[in-house]
Every structure is written in structure tokens, then in C-alpha cells.
Amino acid sequence: MIEKSIDGMGKVLQYPDAGALDKEYAQHAPDAIFLDIHMPSRSGLDLLKDILNVDPTAKVIMVTSDSNKENVYTAHAGGAKGFLSKASLTKDSITQAIKRCVD
């Protein structure tokens, strides 16, 4: 859904788990990152910290089906620029999240 929503806005890179992303981040210098909270190998919230340690200006948008208040608060307090719930994910919500954090 995310890839289709931003088609034409930029290049999309996908990683199946957190292991490759922290190493690839510096190489690709993305304008924005959509990061799931729950991943097979590692917490997205932990990866958020690592990415921001490498690049404090990183534009990270958390995406999850587990959008309880604690996760939302932790993501924002940890430096995420946006938070999207998978339950209400639409093309408009995705493009608006990008515009809010990149512009």
C-alpha cells in the first residue's frame, strides 16, 4: 500500500527485517522512512533510536497495527515524525504523513 501510494514521488526500498535497514540507511540517505513497530528480528522503536543516533534529522514515520496510546507516545517521544495505523492506512494518509515530515 505504501509503495503504491508514493509511486512517482520517489524511489522505494523495502527490507523484510531490521537487520539490513540500519546498515543501508547511510548508503541511501532516504527522505523518509516508514518503520513498523513489530518486526521479526527487532523492535522498530529500538531501530528508530539507532537511526536517529546516526542521523538526528531522519524523518521516520511509524506504521503499525498496534496503535495503542503507549506505542504512539513512545514513538513520538523517541523522535518519530509521524505515526500511522495500519487499520486506517490510505493513500491520502500516507502522502499527508510524508508532506508533514519532509516539507
* Cβ contact 94:2 at 8 Å: yes
pTM of the model as a whole: 0.86
All domains in the chain, ordered by first residue = 2-102 (3.40.50.2300)
Which pLDDT tens digit goes with each residue over 58-86? Answer: 999 999 887 788 888 899 999 999 999 88
Q: Which of 44, 48, 49 is nearest to 65 (CA)?
A: 44
Query: Quick one: average pLDDT of 4-12?
Result: 78
* Predicted pLDDT at 66: 78
State the greatest distance between any 2 C-alpha atoms of the chain, in Å, as a whole number: 34
pLDDT tens sequence across 22-49: 677 778 878 888 888 888 778 889 889 9
Q: Is 87 helix (H, G, I), strand (E, B) or coil?
A: helix
Residue 22: its pLDDT value, please? 65
